[in-house]
Amino acid sequence: MNYSRPDLLEQLAASHVLGVMRRGARARFERLCQALPIAQLARQRWEDRLLPLALALTPVAPSAGCWQRIQQRLGAQPHRKGLGWWSAAAAASLVALLLVGRLTIWSEPDWQDRAVLATADAPPAWRLESTADFGEISVRSLNVPALPADRIHELWILPVNGGNPVSLGLLPASGDIRRKLTAAQQSLLAAAAQVAVSVEPTGGSPTGVPTGPVIIVAEVRRPI
Amino acid sequence: MQARDESFVGAKLIIVFKWSLNPDRFLLRIEDMDQGRAHPLDNQELELLLQRCAARDRAALQLLYTRCAPQLLAVLMRMLGTRAAAEDVLQDAFIRIWEKAAQYDQIQGRALSWMVAIARNRAIDVQRGGRPTVVLEAADLAGAEQLRVVGPADGAEFSATYQTLQHCMDLLAAAQRQCLLLAYQGGLTHERIAQSVGQPLGTVKSWVRRGLQSLRSCMES
């Protein structure tokens, strides 16, 4: 079966999430999801799309023993007991810290997760966040793949209209960066479904479009 | 009057004393702070709880259970028919959520979708593991048909998705809509749906396929 056909993957993912597949076909699709990130992504999209059908059902309170049985199965974990005055003081400091934290957060822009940049076979390399209006991005380095000394990673918007990728700048090898976007970058990113990472000469692509291998294509997350 | 005031102060002191002895007090504080801040199924908060589960924080799992178990149980009871079977699967689901929480970080979907999928997948395994599935009768079908997508259940952010899905479900032909609800909410296979609605298997398969296609193009437009 040719799994690179997007319509076929969509069909399989939808049937899996809906639950109409037979056992063999279900298991095959689950294996496919582990091997093919695009299949996994199609499945997640359908899980999100159909979630309201689950939420349409009226919640039912579980019986009292249900949580206890989960705890028993996980194995008893000792409670911290009787730390007395010190723990009350620690709790008070924690609450104070949380309050200060919230006050600080209030003065910050509202950062939203936009994409996890990961190659197919490795843990996430970067996490991309942006402000709600896409006016500023923040990139956090996680497990950045190693590169020769004369190469660097560059981040690109893949415009929805299929036009040339537009650079969002160079990616850090470690640490976090923040970058204000131009109005043009902002509107392209706001509309984009995907971003990509390519390997470029130090200083970035000399031509304004990716010249080296594209190692990551990631979906842009937005509140649905 | 003074005596009453004193006993009132005394009662408050006892409550404070009991609170300071209560090993779950941190949990209670977190819950108190939650009140009125966001919907219990708010995606960002569920994501934070899953991160804490990944860091082996058992209190986070309990909070996750408090918030999500009633909705998951509703889904499971609809699929499995009895509370006993549904609660067994609910327990399995939370064990798996605890075990797999670290993997959620690499998932791009919503936290609740991920948890619902874990619960539904387990229910489907149980359902198809040999136990005959209940064939819904005409009366149940009428109920399924009347089910409406109501919301918002996940704060303002999610209400748009709710409305979109409701709008798109309403645009489907009645037979397609009914098949999709029987499959997703009832957990029925093509064959079982065909038995339930009394139509040939091929017809039901094509209703489901076309229903899903229409739903997708409607929700993406």
Higher pLDDT, A68 or B134: A68
- Looking at beta carbons, which residues of chain A come within 8 Å of B74? 54, 57-60
Q: Please name the residues between 136 and 195 in chain B that touch chain A, using a CB distance below 8 Å.
A: 147-151, 153-154, 157-158, 160-162, 165-166, 180-181, 183-185, 187-190, 193
- Looking at beta carbons, which residues of chain A come within 8 Å of B158? 224
Which of the residues B48, B122, B184, B192 would you substitute to probe the A interface, choosing the one with the greatest number of A C-beta atoms within 10 Å?
Answer: B184
Average pLDDT estimate for A82-91: 52
- What does residue B58 show for φ and ψ, rounded to 5 degrees? -65, -30
ipTM, two decimals: 0.75
* Residue A149: strand, helix, or coil: coil
Is the pLDDT assigned to residue B49 strictly greater than 60? yes
Average pLDDT estimate for A141-160: 86
- What does residue A68 show for φ and ψ, rounded to 5 degrees? -60, -40
pTM to 2 decimal places: 0.57
The per-residue pLDDT for B101 is 93
Is the pLDDT assigned to residue A104 strictly greater than 50? no
Distance from CA of B1 to the nearest CA of A (A): 33
